[in-house]
Amino acid sequence: MKKLVLEGKPSSKQKQLFLSRAKYTAYGGARGGGKSWALRRKIILMCIHYPKLKCLLLRRSYGELRYNHILPMLTELSGAVGYSETNKLITFPNGSSVKLGYLSDDGDTLQYQGLEFDVIAVDEATQLTEYQFNILKACLRGNNKNPKRMYLTCNPGGVGHGWVKRLFIDKIYREGERPEDYLFIQATVFDNTALLENDPEYVSQLKSLPEALRSAWLYGSWDIFSGQFFTELSDGTHITRDFVLPGVCRITGGLDYGFDAAALVLLCADAYGRLTVFREFIRSDLTLSAAAREVASVCADLNVDFIAASPDLWNRRQDSGISGYETMMRVPGMPALIRADDRRVAGWRAVREFLSSDMYISDKCPELIRCMSALTYDKNRPEDCSDSPHDITHLPEALRYAVMSRIAPPPDPSQSSRHRYRGAPYGVPVSKY
């Protein structure tokens, strides 16, 4: 094989990627940052440096993989490496290899379960779901001394926007996730001197885009992106800090229950009709009774009028004849449940209407803020939001249930107590429920 000569000079940001030793490194954040070239070069350099290194390089589709990586790598490495078209495998003389693959949907992910790789590189990671990312994380192992790392390139937007932003931008970590494992390297077109010299009009093209695309693709903004369902949260004006419950208020809630996640939000309506979401809860793998105990605990210090819950809780199970509603209401301290109006389009319109006027979200509800900011439009129903990825929909659904329950301000304390309805929205007859 011929001697390998690598051409090209990395930018300062690309050098940071080359030098990163973090377990998970994300690079990019905007268009034109030289992401694909940097990712390929990083993999090639590691294969040369570490004998018998096993690498996996992924894109969403085979077409993108071939155009962005297979053809450029074979051109750059021609004569110095071996390549199997059947196996999509590049092999180096020292025994290192690069498997070239794609992940168009969750089904494609299963082909990698059980496999072991030392290094995994994902180009355009925001096109992958968090489920796919977690499956790939489990493949990052091997009984050798080679480094175990994952390198990701990404732009704002896409189905994976939420989890990439959570881990690498907002740095919100869950149990088992170590902050020191995650590194983000921001790179924009302004860091790519080679592109600026060869195509000086590219920046002008990006500047001419609509606001959402311009913010994301030119400046790398993760707070607003094309396809975002609730852009109202992008400027932070609806986020309130140091919220204290007023002396006179009505407290209600919304509950979205499923075994994959039980999600609860609590809202306060003050005397002026302003709504504030001030408390959240979400946890997976809870039975109905366990979820009810958690809800009761979250609400224990409050006088909650009612919680609007998904109507399917009133369905009776065929084996026992008992509904989820009955099971939950047997738990001591469980607040009153009412059937939620679960119309989707009307519900999201109501949420948007409140956001445009008198609704705020406490900074003590970071998961709700994150999930709502990551929701995207449904491609087939523009007035609805997408239910993918499903894990970010639970808390927004709970909020939609609560808002659709027609929350009214608390009655004037000087008025007769006959105006206070127990377990139902103020001004709505109890018999309706």
pLDDT value at residue 414: 53
Percentage of the chain with pLDDT > 90? 51
pLDDT value at residue 431: 28
pLDDT tens track for 370-386: 899 888 888 888 789 98
Handedness of CA 325, 326, 332, 337 (dihedral sign): positive
pLDDT tens track for 84-124: 999 999 999 999 999 999 888 777 888 888 899 999 999 99
Residue ranges covered by each domain of the chain: 12-226, 233-432
pLDDT value at residue 405: 87
Domain 12-226's class? alpha beta
Residue with the larger pLDDT of the pair 90 and 321: 90
CA dist., res. 83 & res. 99, Å (int): 10
Whole-number Cα distances in Å, 228 to 109, 386, 405: 26, 10, 25
Conformational region of residue 29, where left means phi above 0, alpha means psi within -120 to 50, and beta covers everything else: left
Instruction: State mean pLDDT over 16-27.
Output: 95
- N-to-C CA span, the chain: 79
Residue with the larger pLDDT of the pair 216 and 131: 131
What is the edge-to-edge ordering of all strands in the sheet holding 359-362? 239-240, 359-362, 275-283, 261-270, 249-258, 304-309, 337-339
Is the pLDDT at 254 greater than 60, yes or no? yes
pLDDT tens track for 260-315: 899 999 999 988 888 999 999 999 999 999 999 999 999 999 999 999 999 999 99
Instruction: State mean pLDDT over 342-354.
Output: 91
DSSP strand pairing (149-154 vs 249-258): unpaired
Average pLDDT score, the chain: 85
pLDDT-derived band of residue 421, with 50, 70 and 90 as boundaries? Answer: very low
Whole-number Cα distances in Å, 414 to 250, 251, 409, 417, 420: 15, 19, 14, 9, 12
CA dist., res. 398 & res. 342, Å (int): 10
Is the pLDDT at 418 greater than 70, yes or no? no
Domain topology for 233-432: Nucleotidyltransferase; domain 5 (3.30.420)
Instruction: State mean pLDDT over 40-46.
Output: 94
Let me know if the fold of 12-226 is the same as that of 233-432. Answer: no
pLDDT value at residue 188: 76
What are residue 408's phi and psi, to 5 degrees? Answer: -110, 160
CA dist., res. 153 & res. 43, Å (int): 13
Nearest to 307 by CA among 265, 279, 344, 271: 265
DSSP strand pairing (89-91 vs 82-84): antiparallel
Please give the single-letter amino acid code of residue 102: Y
Nearest to 399 by CA among 281, 261, 255: 255
